[in-house]
Amino acid sequence: MSTISRLPGIVATDHVFQLPLDHSAPGGEQIEVYAREVVACGREKDDLPWLVFLQGGPGGKAARPLGRDAWLDRALDDYRVLLLDQRGTGRSTPATRQTLARRGGPQEQADYLAHFRADSIVRDAELIRHRLLGADKRWSVLGQSFGGFCTLTYLSFAPEGLTEAFITGGLSGLGSSADDVYRAAYPRVVSKNTDHYARFPQDVEAVRRIAAHLAGSPATLPDGGLLTVEAFQALGLMLGGGSGSGALHYLLEEAWVEGPAGAELSDTFLAGVQARLSFAEGPLYAVLHESIYGQRSVDQVGTGWSAERVRKEFPQFDALAALESGAPVLFTGEMIYPWMFDTDPALRPLKETADLLAARTDWPDLYDPARLAANTVPVMAAVYHDDMYVDTADSLATARAVRGLRTWITNEWEHDGLRVSGGEVLDRLIKMARGEV
């Protein structure tokens, strides 16, 4: 029986679906996939079109609304919204160090997680659509970031389920390998570092001081994690959001405190760093991150810890060399590195599993270029001109490859524009779909 709850301005209904782990073997092992239906108060019985939201990630659960929050406020003007906890996340059958340990050794865990990519997520969504709406009714989809990647997979393999598609910061390169992605990403990250240090020039020396300290003595985080120089550089993930540069600056401001033996890194700083770096709440992001680019037709040798390999082509990210030369120490971006499975307690038990996934060479293709070229589903996409996470050139090439896809290219928002724009980004895309822009 579905549970119904009420929050300011909304009525939410819980749905739990039993779905196949492997969609090619529907009679085999089943997992649970959870979704929260949200509708505006007073419209519970209205015959509204449905909008399914595909969260960014990978490995991210859907937002937990406290009312008519952010983009959801705009969506509820027109739609009944389904917030999907993608398989392995949130209230769906979880995939964490704790649950995966019950499945056996690293090979069994890797084989299990091979079913947690965009193709499986889309097939989950289609089965859910059939059960909620019926096979003859379509719904709209909104894909943010990785959710946009999933939307392109949806358009490739099950466009018959869609009325329209909205994509925000999520037009992936259809034929880009992981190496291609990171070769394009590192220069964008350099640019974000340059912008940050221009905005907060005092941070150049602040970052150098922290990096020098960690180079001599890595710090222990409150959860037992290890803060090395490389882990400190990974805070650059923050630079991809609209307010991330300011948040990073404020974090650095409180880095030091005078202890009995002199200056030491403060508990406030270490707790703030842990909150930014720990994968305890979303380990799938780290474990599956590079696999979202794996496609048999693009790369026959596997992703192979691409971010780590490609980083060597960009020596400006070598913190120790920067400390020696007097150059600014650069932060990295959303790259996942194998050493994270040593420094983060939530990832340590999954190290061998992640290695096996990185070595996998038989990832099926996620996109059908021919079907996308003949697409008939209206697609509206926001492309953020200065997006640190998703390459603009890749996004525009994909836009040209998908028939009927219209783009709104903007530098008003960063990658998190959907969340922080107060509904403005989604409103623009809806108006584009209605011919009002």
**pLDDT per residue over 97-147, tens digit each?**
999 999 999 999 999 999 999 999 999 999 999 999 999 999 999 999 999
Check residue 201 and give its pLDDT. Answer: 98
Residue-wise pLDDT tens digits, 160-175: 999 999 999 999 999 9
Q: Can you give the pTM of this predicted structure?
A: 0.96
Q: Is the dihedral of CA 24, 25, 31, 36 positive or negative?
A: positive
Distance CA 385, CA 415 (A): 9
CA nearest to 170, candidates 391, 378, 406, 419: 391
Assign 92 a pLDDT band (cuts: 50, 70, 90). very high
pLDDT in tens, 318-352: 999 999 999 999 999 999 999 999 999 999 999 99
pLDDT surpassing 70 at residue 300:
no
DSSP secondary structure of 63-97: P--SSS-HHHHHHTTT-EEEEE--TBSTTSSB-SH
Asked if 235 contacts 227 with a C-beta cutoff of 8 angstroms, the reply is no
Just list the catalytic residues. 145, 362, 415
Task: Read off φ and ψ for residue 58, nearest 5 degrees.
Answer: -75, 170
> Does the bond joining 58 to the residue before it have cis omega, within 30 degrees of 0?
yes
Q: What is the mean pLDDT of the chain?
A: 96
Residue 122: φ, ψ to 5°: -65, -40
CB atoms within 10 A of CB 337: 18
Which are the contacts of 385, defined by CB distance < 8 A and separation ≥ 6? 392, 409, 410, 411
Using an 8 Å Cβ cutoff, are 382 and 428 in contact?
yes
What pLDDT does residue 35 have? 98
Q: Which residues lie across from 257 on neighbouring strands? A: 264
